[in-house]
Structure formats: C-alpha cells, structure tokens
Copies of this chain bind each other. A is one copy, B any other.
Amino acid sequence: MILTPGTLFLIPVPLSPDGAETIPVSVQKTIEPMRIFIVENDRTARRMLRRMGFTADFSEVTLITIDKHSKIDPKPAINSLMSGHDVGLLSESGCPAVADPGSPFIREAHRNSIPVVPLTGPSSVLLALMASGFNGQSFVFHGYLPIKPNARLNSIRKLESDSSANNITQIFIETPYRNNEIVKAVINNCRPETYFCVASDLTSPNESIISQPVSAWKRMQLPDFHKIPAVFLIYAG
C-alpha cells in the first residue's frame, strides 16, 4: 500500500499581539483540523495558535520544537508527513522561512515529494517595502549587517552605492537593541539625497513608517527605536 503524504502548511502568525485581524480566514480554517505543528517555542506557539482562533485541546496536539541555535533535525516532522498527517510550520513572528529559520524542513519536504502550501499573512519585510515607496521591482533583503563598526560602515556605504548604480531597494534588519545605532550610522554616512526608511512596530497601534531623504532625517528630532521591531531600507536610485 502506498500512503499519500500529508501537506506541509507554512503558517504566518501576527507581527504584534493585537495583530490577529491581519491573519486571513483561510489560515484559521486550514489550521483548525491540524494536530502537528513545527514551532520555535512551545509556549508562545500555543498562545499564537489560540490568538489565530485555533480551538483544539492542546493535549491532542503535538508541537515539534526547533531551536534556532542548534542543528535542525527534520526527520520527526517528515515521518509524520510521510505517514499521511498534515503538519504546520510556524515561526515566532510573521511568515515562516522569511528572515528566520525553517527552510531546512521545507527543502526536506520537497526532497520527499511532500506538497508544500504557503499561506498568506503579514511579513514585516514586505510591508516595509510596500510602505517605503522605494523601488518594488528590484530589491534585496540582506538580513543583518555586520556588527563591527567599521565593517558595518563599509556595508552601509556599499548598499548605498549599489542602490544608486542598479536602482535597487536595499532592505535589512538589526537586533532591536542596536536600532538607534544603525539609524545614526545611516544618517551620518549616507548622501543627503539618499532615501532612508524605518518601518517599526508594523501592524500594531504604534506602527510608524518614516521614509525621507537623509537630509530630512538630519533635521528631524529622531524617534527612539530602541528595542522596537523595525525594518530598514535604503534607496539611492
């Protein structure tokens, strides 16, 4: 007998505690019958699932935890999928496998001809790109820039010159407690006419999107971005 494998569903979660309404009805319908989820953290995953309208008793639910910091073993999840169960993959915030771990599971699913279905939901990178007004027809997401001041400065300057040469939007993130540092580094080192956007606290009541030339940033009283989730964009096209 050949078993039909289950489907690996990629499940977005809200970006902010009050962001449940950013999750489409289709996601709620899809997760409701599911009983196996791959998550980063048990406790927050349970809270997130409830917030998205998941009603099942958690004693009937298996959570497979992946640890960001250790090697990911996709085997248990793949075995469940191969024996016919649907499995949901969710991250701590936003869309799984974008700006976070999870892609090894997805790659392994494809290797085993397991269907993969991505569900629609909030992505801070995408929302920031939309809202920036920068070029959305050519863009790069770099993840984190180097931490050491000199390497970081060189990296910012290279992003600016590449953006100018190729008309591309440069997108990056930072550990939230270093946000103010990186904002200052951009403002103090990019050309006055280069555009800089900081999109912070997206989808929350405190959402803020500032997209201005560096010259305008210099005249502004800088907001405090310390420890606030933010996405940064540079455009010199």
Q: What residues make up the interface of A, taking CB atoms closer than 8 Å to B?
A: 10, 21-26, 29, 95-100, 102-110, 115-123, 125-143, 195, 202-203, 207, 209, 211-212
Contacts and interface: CB of A to CB of B under 8 A. Distances in A.
Given A97-B133, A98-B130, A100-B136, A120 B121 contact: yes
A99 B21 contact: no
B129 A106 contact: no
A53 to B, nearest CB: 11
Given A122-B120, A127-B118, A129-B98, A103 B138 contact: no
Given A22-B26, A97-B130, 5 more contacts: A10-B131, A23-B24, A103-B135, A110-B211, A118-B209
Contact of A117 (B115, B131, B136, B143): B131
B138 A141 contact: yes
Contact of A21 (B24, B104, B129, B132): B24
A66 to B, nearest CB: 14
25 contacts: A23-B24, A95-B126, A96-B130, A97-B130, A97-B136, A98-B126, A98-B129, A98-B136, A99-B137, A103-B134, A103-B136, A106-B130, A107-B133, A107-B134, A107-B195, A110-B211, A115-B209, A116-B133, A116-B211, A118-B127, A118-B130, A120-B121, A120-B127, A123-B126, A139-B141
A108 B132 CA distance: 11
Nearest to A213: B111
Chain A binding surface SS class: mixed
A109 B127 contact: no
B131 A138 contact: no
B130 A95 contact: yes
A145 to B, nearest CB: 12
Can you list the 8 inter-chain pairs with the closest CB atoms, starting with the nearest? Answer: A106-B133, A107-B133, A21-B26, A22-B120, A118-B131, A118-B130, A120-B122, A98-B136
A140 B141 CA distance: 6
Given A100-B137, A117-B131, A110 B212 contact: yes
Contacts of A98: 126, 129-130, 136
A131 B116 contact: yes
A127 to B, nearest CB: 4
Contact of A137 (B25, B95, B109, B143): B143
